[in-house]
Chain A
Amino acid sequence: MTRAALESTLLARRGAGRKLVVPYVTAGVVADWLQVVRALAAAGADAVEIGLPFSDPMMDGPTIQEASLRALERGTTAPAALAALADADVGVPLVAMTYYNIVYRAGHRRFARMLADAGVSGAIVPDLPLEESAPWRAEAEAAGVDGVLLVAPSTPDERARRICAASRGFVYAVGVMGVTGERAALADSARQVARRLRPLSRLPVCVGVGISTPEQAVEVCRDADGVVIGSALVHRLLEGADPTDAAALVVDVRRALDERVESDEPVETGRG
């Protein structure tokens, strides 16, 4: 196993003028999910988010709920999924996404080590807000795992500043007030939140939730450093797409971003 660092990789790629693409897949959603992870990396992902399924995913809409349920029914556990990843040698940074009870039950230190041992270099815990997250972030940092924090459209600026300062790896900007899921159109809040965060954050700002198409990715990346794409991809897997077909979405997003994004105006990026 080799471990690709999350924060330095993303900073370097942004520095090279590249928009970041971070696709999400639920571990265990299909038998060949590891092949999906590899296909996503090959399709031009800058990091891959791995969902460790939880019985009660309250930030997730129907698509990822269904994926979590299928993964659990297939017997997926966090330790087993992580053990599988440890041997996968994907070549891009991996970020675990799971709910806090999974972390809490394992124990902060043990869970952080499990991630590190599996070659995972970041973690997103969406039901663990800034105030509750300090003990977990300390253990994650000690294990070399970046604790990625989220900012929402409803977050006031002062609070957003503190979250940006505490986040590691990147800042996850929630693009829309709501749960994960595909949306027909990009919410106004997606660009607004990115625009608001860029000057507050020294880290890349990636917008997730409600980004489903290359067009939406291009639009939001006029203000954001990158996108997280989850439900649109998982939807394909649930409908039986093979890893390459599913990852084709990331190929399209990658190409669209590489070709078409030009910022309306230069956005000043914060120093910290």
Chain B
Amino acid sequence: MGPPGPDGRFGSFGGRYVPESLVPACEELAAAFEAAWSDAGFHEELDTILRVYGGRPTPVTPCRRLSEQLGVRLLLKREDLAHTGSHKLNNVVGQALLARRMGKRRLVAETGAGQHGVATATAAALFGMDCTVYMGEVDVERQALNVFRMQLLGAEVRTVSSGSRTLKDAVNEAMRDWVATVGHSHYCLGSVMGPHPYPWMVRELQRVVGEEARAQCRELLDGADPDWVVACVGGGSNAAGTFAGFVDTEAYLVGVEAAGGAAMGAGGVPGVLHGMASRLLQDEQGQILEAKSISAGLDYPGIGPEHAHLAELGRARYEQAHDAEVLAAFELLARTEGIIAAFEPAHALAWVVREAGRTVPLGSTVLVTLSGRGDKDVAQARELLG
């Protein structure tokens, strides 16, 4: 998984479909990222922060009891143990450093589950920047704890009540903010989506997940790679970062979407939204359809363009998990391994639980990226599990 084409394309997907007002800012960001990414000093600063502040490297945990139950050897990449409780911090620290390099003093972000918002608010506090986070009204309700966490961290949370009142609309509103504030604000996008350079930049900033995991797997598996590498996909940042570490191995790569927001499913059609050409849930006229999932972080009608491309190449496959099997997997992991996962990675796990002994042959080694911890979902789980 290398850099995109010169126009920011992965095959026929990607690109930069933004209002003219934002084109110069996207160009500036691409240049700043390119310079930083080939600068050893930038890497050293980023790596140090992620180590001494962010808690990296995160471990890979072999699951003894659940592996026995499923008949596959299950390993978890534990992004839930990173500071702020998910992989989102990797991306945000990198972007905050870039924002500082570009002389921007304010971060704007969208958030679904609130994890990216919390991570952005955290980085803003760490670097002494202002922070505004847009969050759909539906998500503000179901992720109330994260709203308060962001506020504690000094961020302003703005509730978005347009459209589906979830992640898609939070992105619209964050982009509207950015158009008006681009002189002093950086849009800290939370996934491998949006206009070039975001899909590429965010994947590179999340690459650390996959690279660590590959080395850790080789240590655990006597130099071997896992047979299957599975991650959940909202926009697809934890999956892209994970896949980047394994794309040149023999491992099967599987991205798992929420069945109600499956841009790679039958309802996903090529289109353009939020600055990128990708696959989108939309009607015949090109109106974007609303995703529907228990998981606020996967409640998105699109997918990062590189995933659409990996699917087209046949290098990765994209599957779906339904709300009920996700909840079951969430409970199962808690009871067998003592880990309360976020609803998002519970999708990846649910697919493995369903497919172990079917698509995934018994005896296979399976790495699942556990992209975040479930504290934020406990209240919702309590209601759903009653």
Contacts and interface: CB of A to CB of B under 8 A. Distances in A.
Interface string B150-163: 00000000000011
B176 A155 contact: no
Interface string B43-55: 0000000000000
A271 interface: no
A1 interface: no
Contacts of A65: 162
Task: Tell me the interface secondary structure of chain B in the complex.
Answer: mixed
Contact of B286 (A57, A104, A151, A174): A104
Interface stretch (B21-29, B61-69, B373-381): B21-29
Most chain B C-beta atoms within 10 Å of own C-beta, residue among A65, A69, A72: A65
Interface stretch (B12-20, B89-97, B126-134, B242-250): B12-20
B179 A178 contact: yes
B172 A58 contact: yes
B216 interface: no
B272 to A, nearest CB: 5
A179 B273 contact: no
B383 interface: no
Interface residue tally of chain A, by bracket? 35 or more
Contact of B20 (A54, A104, A155): A155
Contacts of B275: 127
B273 A152 contact: no
Given A56-B172, A177-B179, A100 B17 contact: yes
A146 B139 CA distance: 42
Given A72-B287, A131-B7, A156-B24, A126 B168 contact: no
Interface string B269-293: 1111111010010101111100000
Nearest to B176: A179
Interface in A98-115: 100-106
A153 interface: yes
B19 A59 contact: yes
Most chain B C-beta atoms within 10 Å of own C-beta, residue among A77, A132, A174: A132
A127 B18 contact: yes
B175 interface: yes
Interface in A129-157: 129-132, 149-156
B182 interface: yes
A61 B16 CA distance: 21
A152 B20 CA distance: 6
B21 A152 contact: yes
Contacts of B21: 152-154, 174, 177-178
Contact of A56 (B7, B18, B183, B288): B288
Interface string A34-67: 0000000000000000000011111101000100
B145 interface: no
A234 B202 CA distance: 39
A154 B285 contact: no
B19 A177 contact: no
B180 interface: yes
B162 to A, nearest CB: 6
A77 B283 CA distance: 11
A153 B162 CA distance: 27
A143 B15 CA distance: 25
A77 B286 CA distance: 10
A203 interface: no
Nearest to A77: B285
A148 to B, nearest CB: 12
A231 B20 CA distance: 20
Nearest to B277: A104
A51 to B, nearest CB: 14
Given A104-B271, A127-B19, A152-B23, 18 more contacts: A54-B287, A56-B273, A56-B274, A58-B274, A78-B285, A100-B17, A102-B286, A104-B272, A104-B286, A126-B20, A127-B17, A131-B7, A131-B23, A152-B20, A154-B21, A154-B24, A156-B24, A159-B24
Interface of A: 54-59, 61, 65, 69, 72, 77-79, 100-106, 126-132, 149-156, 159, 163, 174, 177-179
Interface of B: 7, 15-25, 162-163, 168-169, 172, 175-176, 179-183, 269-275, 277, 280, 282, 284-288
What are the 10 A-B residue pairs with the smallest beta carbon separation, nearest first?
A: A105-B286, A178-B180, A152-B21, A55-B287, A102-B286, A152-B20, A101-B286, A55-B288, A150-B20, A101-B272
